[in-house]
Structure 1
Amino acid sequence: MSDTKNKWHAIALVAGILLIAVNLRVPFTSIAPVLPLIQNAFGLSASALGLLTSLPLLAFAAFSPLSASVARRFGIERTLFGALLVISAGILLRSAGSAWALYAGTILIGTGIALANVLLPGLIKRDFSTKMASMTGAYSITMGAAGAVGSAVIVPLTQSWGWPIALSLLVAAPLLALVVWLPQLKKHEHVNLSGPKQAPTVAVWRSPLAWQVTLFMGLNAMPFYVAVGWLPTILMDHGISPEQAGTVHGTLQLTTAIPGLILAATLRRLKDQKLAAATVSLLTASSLIGLIYAPDYAMLWAAFLGFGSGASMMLGLTFIGLRTKNAGDTAALSGMVQCVGYLMAAAGPLLLGQLHDWTGGWTAPLLITAAISVAGAFTGMLAGRNVQLEHAESSSRTSPAIQSANALTAGERKR
């Protein structure tokens, strides 16, 4: 009897995790296919529209570092429940019909996603430590598939009821997750997600290698979130129908999950990751150029862009572990990478919108975004080297004057 009960508890937990994963993508990305309608409704400039796309990323940068401390106080299950409530409120507020509500609701959605985005891997590590790879793969695929469905259905819903109602219907996703997650609220122990505290031995903000990893992540996140925010608008401006633009946008999101299925085993066999990092960044760059000069093949370019972006994000996260020697250094580098990476990602849609306002078209903005991906390839060649961060007390970080003083002191001791 107890085995059957445990089995149903496990099934309910897995179902809850996957439904939370749905909400890490759908409320944020499904707005992109209807951005032109929102722009017309409120008379927004492309720059203002870019800000709307960037707000969730700014919320990620602001609230991701706070997630673990909130979970330690209230318990991880209750915090995830609260995150779903915040996402639900944000979805409804965003559709309230005014410009301030549009932006305020978007900030709430980003805040809820930021909390859940950090806590879900910690929950999986705690409850599925022996099945981490399969569970992480499952929720990654769920995120990509849900994002694809959301982008594909939002246009037909908008054509039937208008964009405010269509976007408000997305609240069904967090509400369903809330219902399925209710049984987990019985477990609310105060969890230390990071395990035993371990002080970092590396001054990451002064480490060239840490900056190379951070810039690789940021320079590859920028093109991805540019595409997440602007791809349907770009395609519609090229004469592609809203329905097809939504489907292409869905393809972009679905293909981001594929690298997680095939790269993990491949990376373990490589001596270093330089070639892999450069290749996936250049794949992203070539797909952006393809969107400019061969938009009829948008589905193919979106698939390449999704794969290249997904692979580079996965590599960036992998570098955090590979380039550090202990848990303290890993946590310090992760905080740096996520903070700077999300801020750079937020700058992408804003920059593209401003460039579109200045140039009146998409060619120059997309070429500059492709150049950013090429820069990502160069940083990938550096971040992909088989080296690790040096200790803060390493002599390589010590100034010549201090080295001379140390040598003099050592000489005096000998005498």
Structure 2
Amino acid sequence: MTSTTRFSRLTAIWTFFGLVLLTVNLRAAITGVSPLLGDLREGLNLSGVEVSVLTTLPVLCLGVFAALAPPLARRFGTETAITGALVLITAGILLRIVPVRPALFAGTVLAGAGIAMGNVLTPAVIKRVFPRRLGALTGMAMMLMAGSGALAAALAVPLNDTGGWRLALAVWAVPSLLAALAWAPLTRMTARTAERPPHRARTSGGGSLLRVPLAWYVTLFMGLASLMFYVLMSWLPEIMRAQGYAPATAGMMVSVMMIIGIPLGLVVPMAAARMRDQRPLVLAVAVTMVAGLGGLIVAPQAGWLWVTVLGLATGSAFPLAFTLLSLRSATPSVAARMSGMAQTGGYVLAGVGPLAVGVLHTATGGWNVPLALLLALLVPEIVFGLLAARPSFVHAEAADPEPLTVSASPAVSVPADVPAPSR
């Protein structure tokens, strides 16, 4: 084994642990806030409008700042961009504990910007360093995101009871700082390898992804799937409280819904990567979501049943959409661009959801109309999901998607310009 091979293997191992630490920090700073809204409202004298903005702002940040990730990765390197993203998350979390309202909102924007860049660059790193383990590594990332998000939501109230809302928010600066320290050496390690980073991969010569229908299908499917999740995460406790459930029970239902998604975050990407055509998965997710939302309207007294069903649906939809970013990309650079486009448009669309549902609830005085709206939005989600799940992929140089060639391996085929992992 040559020294270059040994160094490449060390870089891959270090990148794997870096991915673990990165993905642990891509949900907790968001999901740990919702259970504390009452205490934040009282402690900082927030108005109802400010509380609504606080619930919508993180999702909008995920969309607005996602577009910055690909150009920053091309300019400074993917590993440097990820390190900077983790520094932003840490700074944002710490800024939020300053007991003034502007700091809370500014810190939320900084943390949201860092999370947005981490979301975009994760599939590009997986596709470059681990192209033959795409399903497994994407599944691991989804599982860790869901697990850390559920853990942050579950620990928020106990930490608040122990040391107040500042402790409950500040504790998540520790893992984000550790992750930044872990990624910093990778900025130098990758510079020494013979493999060139994805931001220098071949991207010239062609069409904008905005002209590629398949890129739009993935974007809209991800956006609508994310909208469903964030609406339920924001409003499910209020929906269940309106049905007579105790506040503690209603809050627990959100945690259960998120916990159900943890194993699905691992299983769904692995299953999707082994399938030539992912349309059966889209249909399965759609049927499950229809059952859950319809059940809340028709038989809300069976709340725990529908929460379980919705956990299966939301826990499968986003991992499937996230996996399609890599499955429909011909190269790591395209994966980064696709991820930036899909998450910019998708999260901006998703960010409108909680606010629109809240306004609709206020206007109608109930939850059946907002839930019916979500059912109606499932129609375009299914259509775009089926179009995105067809076996094809996007080239940076092509104006249209090209047919996907699948090898005999259970994993998706690897294009010629994607290097195989070191052995």
With the length of structure 2 as denominator, give the TM-score of the two structures. Answer: 0.77
In the TM superposition, residue 87 of structure 1 has moved relative to its aligned partner by 0.8
Report the Cα distance in structure 2 between the residues aligned to 1:7 and 1:389, rounded to whole angstroms: 29
The structure having more radius of gyration, on CA atoms, is 1
Report the Cα distance in structure 2 between the residues aligned to 1:94 and 1:377, rounded to whole angstroms: 38
The aligned residue for residue 279 of structure 1 is 284
In the TM superposition, residue 153 of structure 1 has moved relative to its aligned partner by 1.0
The CA deviation string for residues 202-250 of structure 1, in whole angstroms up to 9 with x for no partner, is x764666654444333222211111233334444555545554444323
Report 1:28-67 matches (<5 A): 28-41=30-43, 42-45=45-48, 48-67=50-69
Residue identity matched to 1:373: L
Report the Cα distance in structure 1 between the residues aligned to 2:384 and 2:225, rounded to whole angstroms: 10
Residue identity matched to 2:167: I
In the TM superposition, residue 27 of structure 1 has moved relative to its aligned partner by 0.6
In the TM superposition, residue 296 of structure 1 has moved relative to its aligned partner by 5.8
Q: Structure 1 residues 326, 67: closer, same or farther in 2, change over 3 A?
A: closer
The aligned residue for residue 351 of structure 2 is 346
The CA deviation string for residues 152-208 of structure 1, in whole angstroms up to 9 with x for no partner, is 11111122333233122222221332344454354363834362114445x764666
Equivalent pair of 1:282/1:373 in contact (CA under 8 Å): no
With the length of structure 1 as denominator, give the TM-score of the two structures. Answer: 0.78
Equivalent pair of 1:78/1:188 in contact (CA under 8 Å): no
Equivalent pair of 1:284/1:308 in contact (CA under 8 Å): yes
Report the Cα distance in structure 1 between the residues aligned to 2:399 and 2:8, rounded to whole angstroms: 47
In the TM superposition, residue 146 of structure 1 has moved relative to its aligned partner by 1.2
Equivalent pair of 1:278/1:378 in contact (CA under 8 Å): no
1:248 lines up with 2:253 in the alignment: yes
Match of residue 369, structure 2, among 352, 364, 370: 364
Report the Cα distance in structure 1 between the residues aligned to 2:7 and 2:214, rounded to whole angstroms: 49
Q: Structure 1 residues 379, 132: closer, same or farther in 2, change over 3 A?
A: closer
Residue identity matched to 1:93: L
Report 1:306-321 matches (<5 A): 306-317=311-322, 319=324
In the TM superposition, residue 119 of structure 1 has moved relative to its aligned partner by 2.1
The aligned residue for residue 402 of structure 1 is none
Q: Structure 1 residues 334, 290: closer, same or farther in 2, change over 3 A?
A: same
Report the Cα distance in structure 2 between the residues aligned to 1:326 and 1:127, rounded to whole angstroms: 12
In the TM superposition, residue 280 of structure 1 has moved relative to its aligned partner by 0.9
Report 1:190-209 matches (<5 A): 191-193=197-199, 195-201=201-207, 205=210
The CA deviation string for residues 54-104 of structure 1, in whole angstroms up to 9 with x for no partner, is 222222222222213223333333322222221111112223223322221
The CA deviation string for residues 239-284 of structure 1, in whole angstroms up to 9 with x for no partner, is 5455544443233333334445444565577675444323312322
Report the Cα distance in structure 2 between the residues aligned to 1:19 and 1:300, rounded to whole angstroms: 34
Equivalent pair of 2:217/2:387 in contact (CA under 8 Å): yes
Report the Cα distance in structure 2 between the residues aligned to 1:192 and 1:10, rounded to whole angstroms: 14
Give aligned pairs, total: 392
Residue identity matched to 2:381: G
Equivalent pair of 1:319/1:383 in contact (CA under 8 Å): yes
1:22 lines up with 2:24 in the alignment: yes
Gaps of 5+ in 2: 402-423
Residue identity matched to 1:363: N
The aligned residue for residue 82 of structure 2 is 80
Q: What root-mean-square deviation, in Å, do the aligned CA atoms of Structure 1 and Structure 2 show?
A: 3.8
The CA deviation string for residues 373-393 of structure 1, in whole angstroms up to 9 with x for no partner, is 243224434545567889759
Report the Cα distance in structure 2 between the residues aligned to 1:6 and 1:386, rounded to whole angstroms: 32
Report 1:156-175 matches (<5 A): 156-175=158-177
Moved more, 30-39 or 87-96: 30-39
Q: Secondary structure at the match of 2:171?
A: helix
1:215 lines up with 2:220 in the alignment: yes
Structure 1 or 2: more helix by fraction: 1
Report the Cα distance in structure 1 between the residues aligned to 2:15 and 2:275, rounded to whole angstroms: 35
Give the fraction of aligned pairs with identical amino acids, expressed as a percent: 36
Gaps of 5+ in 1: 395-415
In the TM superposition, residue 141 of structure 1 has moved relative to its aligned partner by 1.3
Q: Structure 1 residues 173, 335: closer, same or farther in 2, change over 3 A?
A: closer
Report the Cα distance in structure 2 between the residues aligned to 1:389 and 1:13, rounded to whole angstroms: 26
Report the Cα distance in structure 1 between the residues aligned to 2:394 and 2:131, rounded to whole angstroms: 27
